[in-house]
Amino acid sequence: MPRKVITGFSNPTVKFVRSLREKKHRRLAGKFLVEGLRLLTDAREGGRLPEMLLMAQGRDEHPLLAELERAVEAAGGEVIELPIDLLAKVTGKDNPQAVAGVFAEWDTRLARIDRTAAPIWLVAQAMRDPGNLGTMLRTADAVGAGGLILLDDCVDPFSVEAVRASMGGIFTVALAQARWEEFEGWLRQAEGQLVAASLREAQPYRGAPYAAPCFVMVGNESQGLPEAYEMACDLRVTMPMKGRADSLNAAVAAAVLAYEVLAAVER
């Protein structure tokens, strides 16, 4: 299939892709935007291809980009060339990378999760910062977690900012979204230990009796977990704060706790 060339900002395809920077349009279309060859390559290696591949005219040739283009064409996707300044308007960046892609969102229902697939899972409740969400995806990938479960009103994991912050984790880590009530009911249907960093009747996080499958939960960046959520946990642990700070960043706390859990369940 020959490449399609677009030169005008008024083109419907350009307007559509640009609209994916906004959550309401992503939800309506069920699509999201990814920028950069590294992320697009991670997606391809993870078994996901963009439905639409956008490439800047005059870009430097790269073997990974050539492989990506061939894979998209073979899968029946669309390959589009456009001027670099037009790509900048599409992505919203003054210095855009030479390639971007439009992906279909995938099923993130909790029912798809197989809790036996891994000894550790990460859970984020009402997380609002896309950088923190991206960091948690990277942490989940690093510790070999089964996936990341987002509870209640979290930031959109398919936003450009969250995808970028995940450094490819969005394509390598299983993702689920649910309300607390649904998650709690699902969790109690079978084995699963729910653990949270807390100050309520908590024990030191080192040496705590972690058990697989272990679900490590952190809360909102400014408010933490609701008391009812903490009290529903099987285990509440605390991490020592030896300086003046009274808490860790939510994503950092999840990473510290995840590695401790991993060490315990792998013994």
Same domain as 201, residue 133: yes
Burial level of 234, CB count in 10 A (0-12/13-18/19+)? middle
Same domain as 93, residue 154: no
CA 82/CA 58 separation, integer angstroms: 9
Same domain as 192, residue 100: no
pTM for the model: 0.92
Same domain as 162, residue 57: no
Q: What is the pLDDT of residue 186?
A: 97
Same domain as 121, residue 241: yes
Question: Of the candidates 57, 87, 104, which is a domain's last residue?
Answer: 104
The answer to whether the CB of 80 falls within 8 A of the CB of 55 is: yes
What is the full DSSP assignment across 220-244?
Answer: BTTTBS-HHHHHT-SEEEE----SS
Instruction: Output the domain CATH number for residue 170.
Output: 3.40.1280.10
Question: Structural domain of residue 245, as residue ranges?
Answer: 110-265
The answer to whether the CB of 235 falls within 8 A of the CB of 264 is: no
Rounded to a whole number of angstroms, the CA Rg of the chain reads 21
Q: What is the pLDDT of residue 94?
A: 64
Q: What is the pLDDT of residue 8?
A: 86
Phi-psi region of 78 (alpha: psi -120 to 50; beta: other; left: phi over 0): beta
Question: Of the candidates 57, 78, 104, which is a domain's last residue?
Answer: 104
Q: What is the pLDDT of residue 80?
A: 95
Please count the structural domains in the chain. 2
Same domain as 93, residue 118: no
Same domain as 249, residue 141: yes
Q: What is the pLDDT of residue 2?
A: 66
Same domain as 164, residue 91: no
Same domain as 197, residue 96: no
Same domain as 248, residue 128: yes
Q: What is the pLDDT of residue 202?
A: 86
Same domain as 140, residue 39: no
- Residue 85 C-beta-side C-alpha neighbours within 13 Å: 3
Tens place of pLDDT per residue across the chain (267 aa): 568 888 888 899 999 999 999 999 999 999 999 999 999 999 999 899 999 999 999 888 889 999 999 999 999 999 999 998 888 888 877 666 789 999 999 999 999 999 999 999 999 999 999 999 999 999 999 999 999 999 999 999 999 999 999 999 999 999 999 999 999 999 999 999 999 988 788 899 998 999 999 999 999 988 889 999 999 999 999 987 777 776 778 999 999 999 999 999 887
Strands (E), the chain: 4-5, 31-35, 52-56, 78-82, 99-104, 120-125, 147-151, 174-178, 193-197, 203-204, 214-218, 235-238
Instruction: Output the domain CATH number for residue 76.
Output: 3.30.1330.30
What is the CB neighbour count within 10 angstroms for residue 235? 18
Same domain as 97, residue 188: no
Q: What is the pLDDT of residue 113?
A: 92
What is the CB neighbour count within 10 angstroms for residue 94? 7
List the one residue out of 136, 121, 147, 141 whose CA is nearest residue 211. 121
Question: Of the candidates 104, 127, 147, which is a domain's last residue?
Answer: 104
CA 19/CA 171 separation, integer angstroms: 22
